[in-house]
């Protein structure tokens, strides 16, 4: 996300230093630590570690108001006012300095000149010389030949500012170099590096203390030329201008406050450079208006809000098959080069492959998904795309590449033939179903919601058992073990055919497999009727035992055990009218108590 951040302080206070960005590092050359005290130090800042280090010092006498420009060969040209006249190239690869040509370069006034660079890497100096104080000269340095060439004089401009100290220009997309200057004016000096025409821009919008003294400029990746913070022109040094305005070369107009206000007290003569990512580095300076007061070691960077990159499609992509009867969630991952930035909204669109018209929408949400309602898709192949916006409303430069998926009608659901809905589940059970055709199945047991229905979208502890997807075209039965007694559960089955799942089919019931108390009986012989009298007792349940609902009686008359009576009341008597004469029935009778949950308890034989 865009914004100002304070970075590590300079190793020593500096004002009016030269700076540039090269090879992921910020370079700071020379400058003054106190009024008039020019230095030759070289400092290097590493953004990755937020640390400064020292490098080889500028050779020769210190340069006043130095300026620095990166060269096409990876070196840095550094020059300023000095005696004798001197200019140097710094090579970061081996931390060495070499002299460069000074002949005809106006270098006796380099510190007080306007300096800028064109797209070919050539450097321009415009200013007065001691011999021609009223004539503004222009020279150009060509790196490939190490030569300076005199160009046409600078015409009289209103206001004239070509000679102002500390004025380093920046190149616009239109090939025009723009610079501020030391004098308190509200326009920018402009030089067309293609046509050689000089001009001034429209006046900058007024601000407290404006026009600004020692106005410095920078450039944003979008082409805007921006004014940097500084002092007002009332000469008191008390008016601090934190506002940053932008000039648009394409329209010739100004915009107020194109960046957040500078977060600290502005300094005069800070070192300013911009890197290819749009970061603006503001380093050092002096906390006064003219030549009094100490230099500063504070440094700040403006992190340009870079647009998000294309999101990554996570679902409904890669040829996945989805159901036309289901709500389908289209997910993506938000991607942004700025750490901590987030999505504020996104546009989405999908269509049948080959169709000319998109179905479109906008989600004003940080959530990285949208739902396609059930029934909206028709069978066929689809493509979809997303365009995301960051927290500041900046959009990605383009839609995502298309993700492709197929929609189809789901197969009919299976019919569960066992168990039936409302049945009591024993500990060892099974589920049977019928269906015309299937490629795979899924069986699961899930929790009841307390109202006789399964928990919606069960996860975690609400799923008691799940086969997952099982590829088995012929299977129609799965054994079940209900490991927990005395609770309501649901058995669910769905089948997959041609890549699509049917709806889940559900039956519910109570898991209850605790047996009732074991019944007892007394057996009496009645000679008068040639019958046997059975007196049955069903004990009172204890704990979680269910009560017996009825009794069945089984008797072996010698040809094997048969059920002689069923659904007898509890605690009752029953008479066997046709016993076999002379048979001992003391071990040939069994009473089975049946509870309401279907469990049984037998008296034994």
CATH of the domain at 382: 2.60.40.10
Q: What is the CATH number of the domain that holds 564?
A: 2.60.40
CB-hemisphere CA count at 13 Å for 232?
Answer: 14
Quick one: average pLDDT of 221-241?
A: 78
Q: What's the confidence (pLDDT) of residue 313?
A: 98
What percent of the chain lies above the pLDDT cut of 70?
92
Q: What's the confidence (pLDDT) of residue 43?
A: 98
Using the predicted structure, report yes or no on whether residue 106 has a pLDDT greater than 80. Answer: no
In the block, which residue shows the tokens 């269910």? 546
Burial class (CB within 10 angstroms; exposed 0-12, middle 13-18, buried 19+) of 363: middle
Q: Which of the residue ranges 56-60, 303-307, 347-351, 449-453 would you say has the lowest mean pLDDT?
A: 303-307
Residue 302: strand pairing partners: 4, 280
CB-hemisphere CA count at 13 Å for 534?
Answer: 28
DSSP-derived secondary structure letter, 294: -
Within a 10 A sphere around the Cβ of 375, how many other Cβ atoms? Answer: 10
Q: Report how far residue 266's alpha carbon sits from residue 134's, in angstroms, rounded to the nearest whole number.
A: 32
Q: Report how far residue 227's alpha carbon sits from residue 254's, in angstroms, rounded to the nearest whole number.
A: 10
Q: What's the confidence (pLDDT) of residue 209?
A: 61
Is 43 within the bounds of a domain?
A: no
Using the predicted structure, report yes or no on whether residue 133 has a pLDDT greater than 80. Answer: no
Within a 10 A sphere around the Cβ of 535, how many other Cβ atoms? Answer: 13
Identify the helix (H) or strand (E) that includes residue 390: strand 380-390
Q: What's the confidence (pLDDT) of residue 154?
A: 82
Provide the residue range defining the domain that includes 525.
Answer: 520-602
Q: What's the confidence (pLDDT) of residue 401?
A: 97
Using the predicted structure, report yes or no on whether residue 128 has a pLDDT greater than 70. Answer: no
Is 157 within the bounds of a domain?
A: yes
Using the predicted structure, report yes or no on whether residue 235 has a pLDDT greater than 80. Answer: no
Instruction: With cut-offs at 50, 70 and 90, classify the pLDDT of residue 135.
Output: low
Using the predicted structure, report yes or no on whether residue 560 has a pLDDT greater than 90. Answer: yes
**375 and 496: one domain?**
no
Q: Work out whether strand 403-408 and strand 320-323 pair parallel, antiparallel, or are unpaired.
A: parallel
**570 and 480: one domain?**
no
**358 and 433: one domain?**
no
Is 26 within the bounds of a domain?
A: no
Residue 589: strand pairing partners: 555
**154 and 237: one domain?**
yes
Q: What's the confidence (pLDDT) of residue 471?
A: 98
Q: Residues 412, 416, 421, 424: is their CA dihedral positive or negative?
A: negative
**278 and 220: one domain?**
yes
Q: Report how far residue 152's alpha carbon sits from residue 76's, in angstroms, rounded to the nearest whole number.
A: 26
Give tens-digit pLDDT for 244-263.
999 999 999 999 998 999 99
Is 207 within the bounds of a domain?
A: yes
Using the predicted structure, report yes or no on whether residue 451 has a pLDDT greater than 90. Answer: yes
**163 and 229: one domain?**
yes
Using the predicted structure, report yes or no on whether residue 153 has a pLDDT greater than 50. Answer: yes
Q: Report how far residue 216's alpha carbon sits from residue 272's, in angstroms, rounded to the nearest whole number.
A: 8
Instruction: With cut-offs at 50, 70 and 90, classify the pLDDT of residue 181.
Output: confident
Q: Which of the residue ranges 102-106, 192-196, 264-268, 313-317 would you say has the lowest mean pLDDT?
A: 102-106
**214 and 272: one domain?**
yes
Quick one: average pLDDT of 158-164?
A: 50
Burial class (CB within 10 angstroms; exposed 0-12, middle 13-18, buried 19+) of 267: buried
Is 46 within the bounds of a domain?
A: no
Using the predicted structure, report yes or no on whether residue 207 has a pLDDT greater than 70. Answer: no
**474 and 558: one domain?**
no
Q: What's the confidence (pLDDT) of residue 289?
A: 55
Single out the residue in 479, 511, 543 at which a domain terminates.
Answer: 511
Quick one: average pLDDT of 10-30?
A: 95
Using the predicted structure, report yes or no on whether residue 327 has a pLDDT greater than 90. Answer: yes
**273 and 347: one domain?**
no
**211 and 252: one domain?**
yes
Q: What's the confidence (pLDDT) of residue 35?
A: 63
**For residue 587, what are the contacts with CB-CB under 8 A and spacing of at least 6?**
605
**Are the beta carbons of 30 and 17 closer than 8 angstroms?**
yes
Q: What is the CATH number of the domain that holds 295?
A: 2.120.10.80
In the block, which residue shows the tokens 């197929």? 406
**Are the beta carbons of 386 and 347 closer than 8 angstroms?**
yes
Single out the residue in 287, 303, 319 at which a domain terminates.
Answer: 303
Mean pLDDT, the chain, integer: 91
Quick one: average pLDDT of 221-235?
A: 81
Single out the residue in 250, 272, 303 at which a domain terminates.
Answer: 303
**Are the beta carbons of 306 and 340 closer than 8 angstroms?**
no
Instruction: With cut-offs at 50, 70 and 90, classify the pLDDT of residue 132.
Output: low
Instruction: With cut-offs at 50, 70 and 90, classify the pLDDT of residue 308.
Output: very high
**Are the beta carbons of 368 and 331 closer than 8 angstroms?**
yes
Instruction: With cut-offs at 50, 70 and 90, classify the pLDDT of residue 134.
Output: low
What percent of the chain lies above the pLDDT cut of 90?
74
- What single string gives the DSSP state of each residue in 325-362? TS-EEEEEEEE-SSTT--EEEEEEEEEETT-S--EEEE
Q: What's the confidence (pLDDT) of residue 162?
A: 42
**484 and 357: one domain?**
no
Q: Report how far residue 309's alpha carbon sits from residue 304's, in angstroms, rounded to the nearest whole number.
A: 15
Is 568 within the bounds of a domain?
A: yes
Q: Report how far residue 31's alpha carbon sits from residue 26's, in angstroms, rounded to the nearest whole number.
A: 15
**Are the beta carbons of 196 and 176 closer than 8 angstroms?**
no
Is 63 within the bounds of a domain?
A: no
Is 201 within the bounds of a domain?
A: yes
**Are the beta carbons of 66 and 18 closer than 8 angstroms?**
yes
Quick one: average pLDDT of 313-340?
A: 94
In the block, which residue shows the tokens 């070196």? 75
Quick one: average pLDDT of 198-220?
A: 81
Identify the helix (H) or strand (E) that includes residue 369: strand 369-372
Within a 10 A sphere around the Cβ of 464, how many other Cβ atoms? Answer: 19
Q: How far is CA 599 from CA 333, 447, 550, 595, in A?
A: 54, 22, 11, 5
Into how many domains does the chain fold? 4
Using the predicted structure, report yes or no on whether residue 574 has a pLDDT greater than 80. Answer: yes
Q: Report how far residue 125's alpha carbon sits from residue 137's, in angstroms, rounded to the nearest whole number.
A: 8
Q: What's the confidence (pLDDT) of residue 277?
A: 82
Quick one: average pLDDT of 342-361?
A: 97
Strand ranges (E), 539-588: 548-556, 561-568, 573-576
CB-hemisphere CA count at 13 Å for 199?
Answer: 12
Using the predicted structure, report yes or no on whether residue 180 has a pLDDT greater than 90. Answer: no
**Are the beta carbons of 269 and 216 closer than 8 angstroms?**
no
DSSP-H helix ranges across 214-314 = none
SS3 at position 395: strand
Within a 10 A sphere around the Cβ of 84, how many other Cβ atoms? Answer: 9
Q: What's the confidence (pLDDT) of residue 65?
A: 87
**596 and 461: one domain?**
no
Using the predicted structure, report yes or no on whether residue 160 has a pLDDT greater than 80. Answer: no
Quick one: average pLDDT of 557-575?
A: 96
Quick one: average pLDDT of 201-205?
A: 88
Q: Report how far residue 66's alpha carbon sits from residue 274's, in angstroms, rounded to the nearest whole number.
A: 17
Quick one: average pLDDT of 262-276?
A: 90
Give the global pTM: 0.61
């Amino acid at each position: 996300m865009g914004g100002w951040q304070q970075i590590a302080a300079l190793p020593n206070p500096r004002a009016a230093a030269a700076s540039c960005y090269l090879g992921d590092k910020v370079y700071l050359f020379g400058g003054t630590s106190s009024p008039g005290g020019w230095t030759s130090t070289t400092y290097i800042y590493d953004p990755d570690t937020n640390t400064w280090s020292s490098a080889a010092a500028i050779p020769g006498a210190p340069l006043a108001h130095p300026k620095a420009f990166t060269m096409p060969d990876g070196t840095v040209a550094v020059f300023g006012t000095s005696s004798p006249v001197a200019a140097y190239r710094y090579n970061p690869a081996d931390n060495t300095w070499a002299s460069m040509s000074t002949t005809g370069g106006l270098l006796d006034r380099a510190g007080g000149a306007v300096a800028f660079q064109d797209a070919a890497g050539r450097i321009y100096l415009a200013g007065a010389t001691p011999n021609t104080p009223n004539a503004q000269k222009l020279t150009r340095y060509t790196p490939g030949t190490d030569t300076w060439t005199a160009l046409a004089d600078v015409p009289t401009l209103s206001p004239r500012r070509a000679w102002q100290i500390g004025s380093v220009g920046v190149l616009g997309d239109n090939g025009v170099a723009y610079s501020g200057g030391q004098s308190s004016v509200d326009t920018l000096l402009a030089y067309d590096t293609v046509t050689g025409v000089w001009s001034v821009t429209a006046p900058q919008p007024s601000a407290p203390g404006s026009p600004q003294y020692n106005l410095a400029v920078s450039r944003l990746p979008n082409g805007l030329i921006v004014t940097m913070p500084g002092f007002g022109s009332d000469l008191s040094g008390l008016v601090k201008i934190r506002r940053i305005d932008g000039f648009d070369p394409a329209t010739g107009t100004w915009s107020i406050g194109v960046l957040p206000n500078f977060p600290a007290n502005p300094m005069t003569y800070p070192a300013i450079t911009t890197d290819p990512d749009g970061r603006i580095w503001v380093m050092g300076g002096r906390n006064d208006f003219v030549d009094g007061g100490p230099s500063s070691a504070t440094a700040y960077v403006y992190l340009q809000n870079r647009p998000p990159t294309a999101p990554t499609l996570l679902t409904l992509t890669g040829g996945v098959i989805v159901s036309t009867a289901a709500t389908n969630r289209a997910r993506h991952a938000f991607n942004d080069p700025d750490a901590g930035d987030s999505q504020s909204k996104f546009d989405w669109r999908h269509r049948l492959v080959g169709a000319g018209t998109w179905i479109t929408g906008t989600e004003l949400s940080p959530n990285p998904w949208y739902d396609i309602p059930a029934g909206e898709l028709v069978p066929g192949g689809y493509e979809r795309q997303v365009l995301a916006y960051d927290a500041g409303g900046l959009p990605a430069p383009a839609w995502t590449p298309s993700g492709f998926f197929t929609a189809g009608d789901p197969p009919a659901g299976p019919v569960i033939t066992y168990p039936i809905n409302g049945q009591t589940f024993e500990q060892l059970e099974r589920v049977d179903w019928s269906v015309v055709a299937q490629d795979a199945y899924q069986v699961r047991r899930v929790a009841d919601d307390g109202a006789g229905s399964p928990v919606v979208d069960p996860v975690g502890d609400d799923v008691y058992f799940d086969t997952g997807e099982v590829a088995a075209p012929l299977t129609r039965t799965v054994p079940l073990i209900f490991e927990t007694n005395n609770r309501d559960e649901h058995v669910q089955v769905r089948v997959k055919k041609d890549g699509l799942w049917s709806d889940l089919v559900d039956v519910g019931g109570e898991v209850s497999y605790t047996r009732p108390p074991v019944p007892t009986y007394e057996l009496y012989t009645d000679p008068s009727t040639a019958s046997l009298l059975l007196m049955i007792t069903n004990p009172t349940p204890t704990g979680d035992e269910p009560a017996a609902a009825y009794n069945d009686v089984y008797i072996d008359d010698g040809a094997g055990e048969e059920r002689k009576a069923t659904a007898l009341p509890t605690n009752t008597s029953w008479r066997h009218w046709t016993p076999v004469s002379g048979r001992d029935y003391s071990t040939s009778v069994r009473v089975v108590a049946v509870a309401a949950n279907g469990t049984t308890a037998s008296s034994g034989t």
